[in-house]
């Protein structure tokens, strides 16, 4: 729940009323300065003091600046049209805090206010509706809420890649309850601390209501991340929907590109690999023309954080992908840490290889398993089936080795955490190891990547997925030297970020840190 500067604004409104009432009690003060001006200045100063007392957060600072600009214009006797006032406040906020342009709250707040002014809802309808009675006031509030929901939907899609379909219904109760019950009790708690407990009690039923709505099927609509041009057109379409006829008819055509956008998929017979930047762990997204597979799910960062929830689930949502298979190479936590979050978000995905937390694998990995998707061949080269008399081995030794081959014969090899012993076993069986793209075994550990194995694969690209300055020292210097001696171009995720490679262009590998560098990242 975001209320931004609502409590600051409400405090300013109450303080203005109190200062004005006290000022009018003194004829001397009223002769010296008009009571409305004193109330306006006093309310603004008290609101600034309260914002400072409450922690002086970024939303509070922004709200105080907005109130100050509006108050100064009124004190100076300026009656500017609303677009000029709106632009002035925006300019002042950006002048004081240029980083506000990178905050979603800045755009949501200012565009919401602009929409209300542009639609003429407040000026033309609100006062008239309230004057006609409570029924018309409620109708006016519902009209404003529906308008805001519709107009801001494209902006929330652009900023977050999703939009709540139950948000309008939630706000029908949440906005008046928080504004007129919870927030006043919280403010009055400064004078009578027991009222803070009353505010908490009043918040409890609201949270139950919101949780019940959030549990509805389809409560949130997630769409693939559209390019910037389509997102900006959609925002403009949302603004058009808030205006009067005939401009409103332009809204839906402008929304259409963002609502229907689908990221381009590989051609038939081709595949692409996206090695996500998950830190010390493996996670490689494989796409064909009509299917997707995720090889490993990255690490668990802590008790309440993992690569699945923080990186991979948003990645799949942004790409608009429905995962067909999740292949966990082995049971180490840096390969299975994000599996639970992934399977909760994509329960239809078939689980191969190791078990995931809370779910057993549908099928283990065994050498010889094969399948095809749109002309692309998938083959498991390791491990061999277990025998009843087999001795226990480390999880690394049971890593699933997957070879992917396009219709034109371009191949990629994903090997998990196999070590020299498993590399020798693959060489002894004459397994088809040759590939143009290689996921470096065991994150570049000294226990893997023997010279013979590198020579058998002979990759054009070798990618190390490892954490920045990880405690294991991956990739090890001797391993780097062996790849360099073999003429292999080695790329590490700490310097590359997410790495994208396609079988259609095997000589090219794109690093996210190069193609979408932040302006503060310079060479």
Which pTM does this prediction carry?
0.80
pLDDT digits 0-9 by tens, 274-328: 999 999 999 999 999 999 999 999 999 998 899 999 999 999 999 999 999 999 9
**Radius of gyration of the chain from its Cα atoms, rounded to whole angstroms:** 30
* CA dist., res. 340 & res. 382, Å (int): 24
DSSP assignment of 423-447, as one string?
Answer: HHHHHHTT-----SEEE-GGGG-TT
Which residues are 162's β-sheet partners?
A: 222
Ramachandran area for residue 259 (φ above 0: left; ψ -120 to 50: alpha; else beta)? alpha
> Which of the two residues, 121 and 75, has the higher pLDDT score?
75
* Average predicted confidence (pLDDT) for the chain: 88
Which class for 343: exposed (0-12), middle (13-18), buried (19 or more C-beta within 10 A)?
A: buried
pLDDT digits 0-9 by tens, 94-107: 898 888 888 888 88
* CA dist., res. 134 & res. 141, Å (int): 10
Does residue 148 contact residue 112 with C-beta atoms inside 8 Å? Answer: yes
State residue 155's pLDDT score. Answer: 86
| Fold (topology level) of 272-383+396-515 | Metallo-beta-lactamase; Chain A (3.60.15)
State residue 188's pLDDT score. Answer: 86
State residue 123's pLDDT score. Answer: 47
Mean pLDDT of 51-75: 83
DSSP assignment of 352-399, as one string?
Answer: EESPBTTB--SB---TT-EEEETTEEEEEEEPPPP-TTPPP--GGGG-
Q: What is the dihedral of CA 79, 83, 86, 90, to 10 degrees?
A: -130
Does residue 30 contact residue 21 with C-beta atoms inside 8 Å? Answer: no
Contacts of 241 (CB under 8 A, 6+ apart): 150, 151, 248, 251, 252
In the numeric block, which tokens belong to residue 101? 């342009």
pLDDT digits 0-9 by tens, 251-274: 888 888 888 888 899 999 999 999
Which residues are 500's β-sheet partners?
A: 274, 510
Is the pLDDT confidence value at 121 over 80? no
220 band by pLDDT with thresholds 50, 70 and 90:
confident
State residue 122's pLDDT score. Answer: 47
Is the pLDDT confidence value at 129 over 60? no
Does residue 92 contact residue 65 with C-beta atoms inside 8 Å? Answer: yes
Candidate from 71-85, 114-128, 427-441, 492-506 with smallest mean pLDDT:
114-128
pLDDT digits 0-9 by tens, 406-446: 999 999 999 999 999 999 999 999 999 999 999 999 999 99
| pLDDT cut 90: percent of the chain above it | 49
How far is CA 461 from each of CA 226, 272, 476, 496, rounded to the nearest angstrom?
30, 14, 17, 13
């Amino acid at each position: 729940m975001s209320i931004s500067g609502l409590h600051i604004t409400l405090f300013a409104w109450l303080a203005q009323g109190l200062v004005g009432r006290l000022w009018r009690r003194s004829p001397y003060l009223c002769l010296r300065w008009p009571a409305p001006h004193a109330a306006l200045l006093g309310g603004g100063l008290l609101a600034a003091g309260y914002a400072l007392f409450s922690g002086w957060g970024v939303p509070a600072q922004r709200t105080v600046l907005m109130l100050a600009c509006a108050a100064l214009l009124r004190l100076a006797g300026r009656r500017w049209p609303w677009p000029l006032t709106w632009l002035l406040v925006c300019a002042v906020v950006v002048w004081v805090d240029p980083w506000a342009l990178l905050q979603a709250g800045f755009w949501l707040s200012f565009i919401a206010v602009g929409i209300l002014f542009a639609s003429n809802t407040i000026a033309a309808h609100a006062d008239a509706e309230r004057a006609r009675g409570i029924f018309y006031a409620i109708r006016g509030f519902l009209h404003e809420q529906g308008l805001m929901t519709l107009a801001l939907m494209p902006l929330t899609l652009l900023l977050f890649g999703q939009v709540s379909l139950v948000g309008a219904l939630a706000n029908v109760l949440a906005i008046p309850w928080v504004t007129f019950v919870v927030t006043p009790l919280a403010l009055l708690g400064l004078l009578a601390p027991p009222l803070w407990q009353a505010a908490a009690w009043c918040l409890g039923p609201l949270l139950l209501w919101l949780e019940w709505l959030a549990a509805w099927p389809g409560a949130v609509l997630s769409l693939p991340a559209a390019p910037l041009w389509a997102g900006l057109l959609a925002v403009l379409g949302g603004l058009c929907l808030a205006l009067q006829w005939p401009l409103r008819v332009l809204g839906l055509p402008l929304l259409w590109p963002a609502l229907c956008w689908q990221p381009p998929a590989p051609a038939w017979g081709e595949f692409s690999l996206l090695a996500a930047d998950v830190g010390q762990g493996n996670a490689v997204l494989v796409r064909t023309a009509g299917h997707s597979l995720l090889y490993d799910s990255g690490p668990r960062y802590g008790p309440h954080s993992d690569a699945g929830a923080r990186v991979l689930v948003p990645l799949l949502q942004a790409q608009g992908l429905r995962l067909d298979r999740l292949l966990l190479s082995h049971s180490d936590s840096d390969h299975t840490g994000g599996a639970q979050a992934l399977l909760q978000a994509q329960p239809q995905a078939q689980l191969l290889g190791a078990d995931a937390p809370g779910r057993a694998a549908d099928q283990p990995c065994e050498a010889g398993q094969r399948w095809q998707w749109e002309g692309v061949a998938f083959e498991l080269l390791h491990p061999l089936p277990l025998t009843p008399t087999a001795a226990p081995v480390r999880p690394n030794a049971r890593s699933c080795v997957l070879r992917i081959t396009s219709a034109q014969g371009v191949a990629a090899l994903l090997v998990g955490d196999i070590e020299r012993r498993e590399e020798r076993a693959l060489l002894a069986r004459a397994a088809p190891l040759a590939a143009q793209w290689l996921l470096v075994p065991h994150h570049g550990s000294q226990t893997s990547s023997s010279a013979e194995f590198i020579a058998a694969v002979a990759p054009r690209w070798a990618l190390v997925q490892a954490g920045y300055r990880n405690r294991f020292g991956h990739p090890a210097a001797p391993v780097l030297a062996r790849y360099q001696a073999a003429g292999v171009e080695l790329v590490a995720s700490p310097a590359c970020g997410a790495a994208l490679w396609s079988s259609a262009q095997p000589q090219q590998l794109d690093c996210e840190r190069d193609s979408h560098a932040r302006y503060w990242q310079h060479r």
